[in-house]
Structure 1
Amino acid sequence: MAVERSGGGHPERTMALLWRAHAEPAGTDRTPRGRKPRLSVDAIVRAAIAVADTEGLPAMSMSRVADELGSGTMSLYTYLPGKAELIDLMVDQVLLECALPGPDEPRTGDWRQQVELYAHRAREVHRRHPWLWQVSLVRPPLGPGVLAVHEYLLSALSGAGLSARQLVDAAGAVATFVDAAARREAESDQAEQVTGESHEAWWAARESYWDRFFDERAHPAMARVRREGGYERAATESNADLFAFGLASLLDGIERGVTRRR
């Protein structure tokens, strides 16, 4: 399946759109005189997110969003240049749903608990908007949603005693884990929905692999893990459990690294 890439639109126009609610002083009235416009950038972004949520990102096009709004396609281009910019706006908007405490807002727990708050809220955003895994964020939209998440992560990890360079690296490691784990989970859910076949049924249909094709001498580590039940997932073990284990292991590593350097 094709992956869309954020950061592909016109730089200046994209940033102006991302920061539209913050660009003018309070009380500034930029509403044109005459008839009130039927559409707005916010309405277009909301409609695009709704289409992607229900029909998938490939179905989200300027014409489909226009249909959702009951408008002509060309009307949308008076508000934003095109699909590339719209995808950036969509990604940044849903990241605001993390609703993380700002710099002047109270927080609870130590640095690990604060990072865990981000991780679990970001995972929920991915679950609400599974199309996110189809957008590459290697070049992220530099909007209020992305910056709020990054600011929160840096401030939370500051409690671990990291240097400025280490803060950036640790925040990148945590964000990479959360995004990758959440995207894998979303992709897994989609595979079951599209095929109508559970993962358990898929593996069961290929059980003969172990007897007919698996060579223990060529894969001794795999053989040992299989003999000791490492591939048998407990019925009570959920994706949330796996996510929590991976996150705790990563935070343990950050904590041990700080202690070792001290």
Structure 2
Amino acid sequence: MSEPSEAPDLDRLLSLLWRRTAPPAPARTGRKPRLGLDDVIAAAMAIADADGLEAASMARVGERLGVATMTLYTYVPSRAALVDLMVDEALEQRHLATIGGGPAEWRRRLVDYAHRTREIYRLHPWLSQVSAARPPLGPGTFREREFVLAAMADAGLPLEQVNPAAVAFTTFVTAGARQVGESVLLRQATGKSTDAWWQERTSFWENWFDVEQHPTMTRVWEADGYGGGTEEQAAVAFDYGLQKILDGMAAG
């Protein structure tokens, strides 16, 4: 979970989050800075991708960039602010603006959004370590909100139902995406996949699992209802739930 942003830094943080939409700053004279904010964010994300969110400390980022830790505070007011910038940058990498389609294609647009979100959590598994309850107020967050709300409105839902439907949908998608990220983090930390973890516990099924106490689980197993490995099962379950939710939206 990321640190809460300090209130006094809010205006500065917002200016950093929305830096690409702000009017260009006056050209500076003199020597051009060796680093930019995007370099700091990219370095922090690379460390977090490899070693988890906690590893992306200000000291570690400074070391990667070859600058003193205190130098980073000329770019970001705090590590919490840096995490917000990292999260919003990751969300922007879904490139939602490139998902085309008119009102009649609302369903396909939402499926594309869901799959891109799941992939972003696979590429940046540390996103699963950040609370989604208080998202960064940046373009990545708001592009997502506008995208999903527009798709729900195009589905023909009454306007008073659009936001609840969007929240329900994104809650499901984020939960599935976080599961992907958590699996990658566990593989990084332990050196083994979740499938390998289950295979090491074969003795549980042989010596402890009671078929009489778990009749439904047993029937599903005998019907080959659990499919392939855990990652495959998770992907199948995600698509199943996604289609059922969208069926409900279509039905109004």
Pair in the same fold by TM > 0.5: yes
Q: Distance in 1 between matches of 2:61 and 2:167?
A: 33
What CA RMSD, in Å, does the superposition of the two structures yield over aligned residues? 2.7
- CA change 1:50–1:31 in 2 (3 A) is farther
Matched residues, number = 250
Alpha-carbon distance between aligned partners in 1 of 2:249 and 2:243, rounded to the nearest angstrom: 10
Q: Give the aligned partner of residue 22 of structure 1.
A: 21
What letter matches 2:25 in structure 1? Answer: D
Q: Tell me the distance in 2 between the aligned counterparts of 1:6 and 1:177.
A: 24
Cα offset, 1:112, TM superposition: 0.5
| Paired residue type of 2:84 | D
Cα distance in 2, alignment partners of residues 116 and 59 from structure 1:
33
- Higher mean C-alpha deviation, range 112-121 or range 168-177: 168-177
Q: Tell me if 1:4 matches 2:2.
A: yes
Partner of 1:13: 12
Structure 1 length-normalised TM: 0.83
Residue 73 of structure 1 pairs with residue 69 of structure 2: yes
Task: Give the corresponding residue for 2:143.
Answer: 148
Deviation at 1:36, TM superposition (A): 2.4
The structure-2 alpha-carbon separation of the partners of 1:74 and 1:244, relative to structure 1 and needing over 3 Å to count, comes to same
Task: Identify if the C-alpha distance between structure 1 residues 38 and 56 changes in structure 2 by more than 3 Å, giving closer, same or farther.
Answer: same
Q: Please, what TM-score do these two structures have when normalized by structure 2?
A: 0.86
Distance 1:89-1:237 versus aligned 2 partners, 3 A rule:
closer
Distance in 1 between residues matched to 2:204 and 2:25, nearest whole Å:
68
1:123 to 98, 113, 118: 118
Question: What is the deviation of 1:185?
Answer: 1.6
Residues of 2 paired with 1:223 and 1:119: CA distance?
32
Are residue 107 (structure 1) and residue 105 (structure 2) matched?
no
- 2:203 corresponds to: 208
One-letter amino acid of the structure 2 residue matched with residue 129 of structure 1 = H
Gaps of 5+ in 2: none
* Equivalent residues of 2:122, 2:184 under 8 A apart: no
Equivalent-residue separation in structure 2 for 1:205 and 1:110 (angstroms): 45
Give the SS at the match of 2:26: coil
Q: Which runs of 5+ in 1 are unaligned?
A: none
In structure 2, the CA distance between the partners of 1:211 and 1:145, relative to structure 1 (3 Å rule), is same
